[in-house]
Amino acid sequence: MEMKNGQLELYGNKLSKSHSAKAIKWQQMFKDKFNYDPNEKYSLSLEDNEYLGPIFGLKNIVRHDQGEPISKENAIICSTIRMGFGHYRIAMAGVSCARAMGFTPYWLDLLAIPGITTDVINYCNTWYSKFSRISQRSSLFNKYVWEPVTTGDPTLPGLSTLLNNWIVGWPWRFMKTNVKDYKMSELFGNLHQALPSDMPILTAHMWNCMGAVSGGMTNVVDMMFDNWPMAFQLTEGAKHGVQSPSGYYGFRAMRGFDENDKIMKPTPSDAITYTGHHVDHELVENIEIDCEARLRRMKNKEPRRLMITMGGAGAQKELFLAVINHCIDLIKKDKVTLFVNLGDHKDNWDWLQGELSAHRDLIKTHFTWEDTKAFVDEIREKPTSGLHILLHDNIFHAVYATNYIMRVTDIMITKPSELAFYPIPKIFNERVGGHEMWGAIRGAELGDGTVEVRTIPQTLQAIDLMTEEDDLLELFCDCIVKNKSIGIYDGAYKCVEMATGKKFERTTPAVGQYKVAN
């Protein structure tokens, strides 16, 4: 990103001199705070990923030279950070599809590389997590600060702008936030200079993307998240894979990216592609099989299998507990089997088991990957019952457990985050941040999920409807199969194609006689 006459630019759109100066001052703050060395050199090598290596042949990029040398031959980097589970989930979709297309995937987590990347991202992530938790506890904070920050579309512009500029920073939608993030991410350039400059790299967060471009990498594809266009996701010098047509238009036109709502120069067409949803190969490949199994269980009157996931921020605990307590009555009536994935957050289990002390007889725990995998494999063709708690000791199994159990689940209950884009019938509970609203809108219009149910009573009503009746499950399964046929879930494949030039060849589904039940 170049400075011209005291102004930084994005695709020919000039940022004001005052905001350009603030972005440079922001970068300088990190330089001073963490003793940044512009001449620092990185030695990088590869180690087998202990957790997903056996599944995908995944290798970690690590900061030392004692491992296997990094080779760009038939390999692709999937770069991400742990900021919640969503950005790991996107990167795993890239890993899965890259592996299916014959590539060896390398995993680059900027938070696993000691140095300026870890220092800066931890600093930012601490504040993000704090404000996300506050937004779930305070409706006023959520309305006047968090939603305006995450959408750039405040309901009360004067008060909202004052509060979020004072407390949080600039709204994510505006170009000034993009430039601020890019100047910060330039500090990650030295790390990326240690990688082959023309090696294919998929990025699951804009800081990864910006760091790669600023480090001179020339074959960068950003797997864009969410369904609400925000300027901070764009990186000049990269290609962008957008998950929805509406998102494509918003980014292409740079709609609303100027804080004064001025019309901006568009993103060039060769810098952005509508790809479809970023979904793992094994989930897309088996859509017909898994939807057929859902309808078979429905016809056989087996307990409806529901899954709910809980993040580490501990947000929505009241909703989470209400859902579980509501389902306990349905479990006792043999109408529901509930899977609860607590990720890798043992403190949530410490809290939950106290709340469920009166129902210990219903609870079955799965706290190792071996146990989780064996359980899921067993119930592919067999009925199951009860309340199943999943908890793992590492983020890889914590995230991938949701994907693995998804194939044997009938309905997933989730906030409309990255899971909104996955091919499974979904109940969308209340969002965390205004940007997530558009994930629910996307899923509802595609017919693979409900509208956003924003209160506990609405959520429980949706559970009852999809448990006691069959029409919604049938409708959602039909839509999911049709969506696959037109490439809605092909985003991760297409991002690999953009990065490598290799086309994905889809095979015929193992079960071709899928039919919606009459």
Which amino acid appears at position 53 of this protein? G
212 lies in the same domain as 102: yes
| CA of residue 145 relative to chain centroid, distance | 23
Q: Is residue 9 part of a domain?
A: no
Beta bridge partners of residue 324, listed in sequence order? none
The string of DSSP letters for 272-322 reads EEE------HHHHHTHHHHHHHHHHHHHTTPPEEEEEE--TT-TTHHHHHH
Query: How many domains are contained in the chain?
Result: 2
**pLDDT (0 to 100) of residue 367:** 98
Alpha-carbon span 26 to 180, nearest angstrom: 7
372 lies in the same domain as 229: no
The string of DSSP letters for 45-90 reads EEEE-TTTHHHH--EEEESSSSSBPP--TTEEEEEE--SSSHHHHH
71 lies in the same domain as 118: yes
Q: Is residue 245 part of a domain?
A: yes
* Band of residue 163 on the pLDDT scale cut at 50, 70, 90: very low
* Band of residue 191 on the pLDDT scale cut at 50, 70, 90: very high
3-state secondary structure of 392: coil
392 lies in the same domain as 263: no
159 lies in the same domain as 193: yes
Alpha-carbon span 387 to 370, nearest angstrom: 19
Q: Is residue 81 part of a domain?
A: yes
Alpha-carbon span 335 to 356, nearest angstrom: 19
| CA of residue 256 relative to chain centroid, distance | 23
**pLDDT (0 to 100) of residue 316:** 76
Q: Is residue 3 part of a domain?
A: no
399 lies in the same domain as 514: no
Alpha-carbon span 66 to 441, nearest angstrom: 48
In tens, the pLDDT along 318-347 reads 899 999 999 999 999 999 999 999 999 999
In tens, the pLDDT along 374-398 reads 999 999 999 999 999 999 999 999 9
Beta bridge partners of residue 203, listed in sequence order? 79, 222
**pLDDT (0 to 100) of residue 144:** 57
Q: Is residue 253 part of a domain?
A: yes
429 lies in the same domain as 395: yes
Strands (E), 295-400: 304-309, 336-341, 363-366, 387-390
* pLDDT at residue 72 greater than cutoff 50: yes
304 lies in the same domain as 419: yes
**pLDDT (0 to 100) of residue 516:** 38
For residue 268 the two structure tokens come to: 């060039």
140 lies in the same domain as 244: yes
* 77 vs 511 pLDDT, higher one: 77
* pLDDT at residue 158 greater than cutoff 60: no
* pLDDT at residue 164 greater than cutoff 50: no
Q: Is residue 93 part of a domain?
A: yes
* Band of residue 441 on the pLDDT scale cut at 50, 70, 90: very high
59 lies in the same domain as 39: yes
Q: Is residue 505 part of a domain?
A: yes
**pLDDT (0 to 100) of residue 124:** 86
191 lies in the same domain as 259: yes
- In terms of Cα–Cα distance, which of 128, 116, 114 is closest to 84? 128
Alpha-carbon span 36 to 263, nearest angstrom: 37
182 Cβ contact list (under 8 Å, min separation 6): 1, 23, 210, 214, 235
**pLDDT mean over 235-258:** 97
* pLDDT at residue 155 greater than cutoff 50: no
* Band of residue 511 on the pLDDT scale cut at 50, 70, 90: very low
In this structure, of 33-47, 293-307, 431-445, the range with the lowest mean pLDDT score is: 431-445
* Band of residue 247 on the pLDDT scale cut at 50, 70, 90: very high
Q: Is residue 1 part of a domain?
A: no
In tens, the pLDDT along 100-123 reads 999 999 999 999 999 999 999 999
328 lies in the same domain as 246: no
Domain around 375: 283-487
CATH code for the domain in which residue 348 is found: 3.40.50.2000
* pLDDT at residue 150 greater than cutoff 60: no
